[in-house]
Structure formats: C-alpha cells, structure tokens
Amino acid sequence: MTTVLTYTFKKCTSEWSLRFSIRPLSCSSQLRATETRKTLAKPNIRNIVVVDGVGTPFLLSATLTGLLHQPSVPKEVADYIIFGTVIQEVKTSHVAREAAVGAAFSDKTPAHTVTMACISANQAMTTGVGLIASGQCDVIMAGGVELMFHVPIRQSRKMRKLMLDLSKAKFLNFLAPELPAVSEFSTSETTGHSADELAVSRLEQDEYALRCPSLAKKAQDEGLLSDVVPFKVPGKDTVTKHNGIRPSSLEQMAELKPAFIKPYGTAKAANSSFLTDGASAMLIMAEEKALAMGYKPKECLRDFMYVSHNLKDQLLFRPTYATPKILEKAGLTMSDIDAFEFHKAFSGKILANFKFAQNYMGRKSKVTLLPSEKFNNWGGSLSLKHPFGATGCRLVVAAANRLRKEGGQYALAAACAAGGQGHGMIVEAYAK
C-alpha cells in the first residue's frame, strides 16, 4: 500500500509541475460566464482552493506498485500531508507518513492517516480545509489509497493457538485462513433491503447500471478523465487508464445471480461496483498562496457537512440527508447546482436514495429528483469503481473538471459510507 501512495505522491508532483508550467493564468471563456452569478466566498475567511488533483487508474486486478519519475514540484511546499485508507496492513498502518518519506518529501513535513470507511479521503480533504482555514497551514496534500487485492488474511484462532502450542493440535481443518470480508457488518445485510422496501426492481437497477459504463467510456474516449496518470506495473505493461469500464447489455446482466440475498435478491455484480485498487491525491492551498506561486486554481472548496443515522434501514441514505442540509447551509437550491457527483457502490442504493428523498425526508419543500443530465455524467463509482480510501478525492476532482468543461459554477459532491455515515460538499469554479 505504501508503494502505491509513494508512486502517487511522486507522479502527482511531476504531473502538477508540467500542468502548471503550461497553464495560462487567464480565465477561460467558460469561467467568465460564471462571474455574474453570486459567489459563496465569505468575508474575512480564507478562500481554500484546489490547485489540481490526480489519481492512478482504478484497476480491476493487479496490485498497484511502482517507482516513479523525477519529481519537479518542490517538496518543501507541502505543510502537511493527510491520506485516508480503510483496509490497513500492520506493516503500513501509518501509510501517509511512510509514503511521504518514500516519495522523498521532507522528513520535517508532518503526515497522518485517517479512516472513515468509504469517505476516508473526504475526511482527509476536509481536515486539510480546517488546517488552512485556521491559519495553521497554507498547502495541504490530501487523498486516499486502497489495495483491495492485497488485503491482510488472518489465520484462524485455532491456527494461532497451534503456533503457540503445537502439542495440542488434533485436527487440520483450522489450518485454512480466514478470508477477509469486502464490507463491514452492516453493508451486506442492508444492501438489498432499502431497494426492496422502496420497490426498486432488479430491472430498474440493471437499467441504471447500464447507463454508467456507457457514460464512462464516452468520457474516457473524449479524454475527459484527464486526472488519471499512467504508471508501470512491475512485470506488466504501463496502465494508462481505468481498465474496468465494460459496457454490457440487459440480457447479460439478467444472467448473473444475486450477491447477497439469495436466490431472490436484486443486488449483483452487474449493478454493483467491483473490487479495485487505486489512489488519488489533491493539492489544496490557501488562495493567496496559490496565486503567489503562479498557480491557477481549479475550484474553491466551500461548505461541507457530515451526517450519520441508524445502520439498519437507512444505512446508505446519507447523500439524501446531506444534500438538502448542505444546500440550505450554502443558501443554494437544487437548480443552482450545475454538476452532481455522488458516490454509490450499488445502483439499487442510488435509486432508493432518489425515492427516499421524494417520499420520506419530511422537509418544508420536497427534495426533487436530481436531473439526469447533470448527474454523474462521466460514469461515477459503478463504472470507475470504488477503492474505498480513494473515492472521495476522485469525486471532488471530477466535479471540478466537469465545471471547467461545462462552464458551470457550482457542483455538489456527496458520498455514503459503511456504518451509516455520509458527506456532502459544495465546490465552486474558480473564476478570477
């Protein structure tokens, strides 16, 4: 795990250096169009901007390892490094610090690792926002990493006991290792429950899942997934793009069996996110620092909010709870948002969120369905997949890139997390 973050650190610094050296400091015509709309900048509060963000391709297989190119961005620029991860290895439990040192960052640059299930990178990012807003730091590197194909595998309690006391061994069935779970206790139990409760059919889930890889492939073919940096997998070819984008058909999806509730469940491999490796990184700065260094920010990080509710029947409804609250906090409405980037690992969950928002939120005004023409237009987690610790930064970087491409001003990024938690954030295109 440390090697993939080390790679990402080095690659992102060299990538950022190249981008900054050729990027003009004048605003694009698309961004000028947003200047007439109100801004969420607050008086006497620092503007916190995303200068850039990159990530390794989210892989279907092959553990992400590698060394990297000569970095060009001065490493002493970073005041603090924060990375999120979920499945920790004992040898690399403090992966942020170990990766930073491995990437030759100054040993005087502090770093820490956070974990908050699927929103670990979100927590890393917003922790950095707090450090900059409080004046403690000017430059933060934040992100996340996950190696789903290199998870720790424990031996059974009996096997561990055998190692301590071989003389008591009588049977061999306990020699088998305990296979790791891909989710914490509540996710698999409730994945199909919400869809069933809100009458989301298997066909509806398959139809939504069919939309996602088509959008992702179109975005990839048009070169819109520009935050992906290539790397060399030892013993294999250089991976230059997400290799899990696989358009399918309803007929092929119908042949697959349920993943959790058998034999009649609706969640299955075809309408769920598969296991992936991946890492992401963002360079977050105080606006005045970024401009002083000659960088053109992509976006401003504005209001954000964390929410939490019960685990059983509302486990993955956190984006639905976070969305109206964060809009209300920012003084915006759904119609003000130009791009929505929501994380959902299951199509049944996102459709259940839509129905839940309309029927059960109990707010003064109904939470309307998100407009499909603004929602996850470049594929989202169902097609780009979901390395737990890395997804949060991918969402925000995708939102920033979409605003720049489409000429919008505001984007809303939101994600759910195992354990009944969630996060929502408003980002604003940088138009100065």
Q: pLDDT band for 124, please (50, 70, 90 cuts).
A: very high
118 is catalytic: yes
Cis peptide before 263 (omega within 30 of 0): yes
Buried b (16+ CB within 10 A) or exposed e, 53-81: bbbbbbbbeeebbbebeebebebebbbbb
Q: Is the dihedral of CA 306, 110, 150, 224 positive or negative?
A: positive
- The answer to whether residue 386 is catalytic is yes
CA separation for the pair 193, 262 (Å, rounded): 13
Q: What is the pLDDT of residue 287?
A: 96
Binning pLDDT at 50, 70 and 90, where does residue 138 land? Answer: very high
CB 87 within 8 A of CB 388: yes
Cα torsion 301, 143, 424, 132 to 10°: value is -40
Higher pLDDT, 27 or 392: 392
Catalytic choice (12, 118, 212, 300): 118
Instruction: Tell me the CATH number for domain 185-223+246-271+302-429.
Output: 3.40.47.10
Domain 2-151+276-300 identical in fold to domain 185-223+246-271+302-429: yes
CATH of 2-151+276-300, one of 3.40.50.720, 3.40.710.10, 3.40.47.10, 2.60.420.10: 3.40.47.10
Q: What pLDDT is stored for residue 289 in this prediction?
A: 94
Domain ranges of the chain: 2-151+276-300, 185-223+246-271+302-429
Active site residue 393: no
pLDDT at 57: 66
pLDDT band of 61, cuts 50, 70, 90: very low
Angle between helix 347-360 and 318-330 (nearest 10):
60
pLDDT of amino acid 10: 63
pLDDT band for position 315 (cuts 50, 70, 90):
low
Average pLDDT over residues 122-142: 96
C-alpha dist (Å) from residue 44 to 132, 134, 332: 13, 12, 21
From the candidates 137, 393, 416, 423, which is the catalytic residue?
416
- Compare 4 and 174 and report the one with higher pLDDT: 4
Q: What is the mean pLDDT of residues 136-143?
A: 93
Catalytic residue, chosen from 193, 343, 386, 423, is 386
How far is residue 429's CA from residue 34's CA, in Å, rounded to a whole number?
A: 8
- Residue-averaged pLDDT of the chain: 77
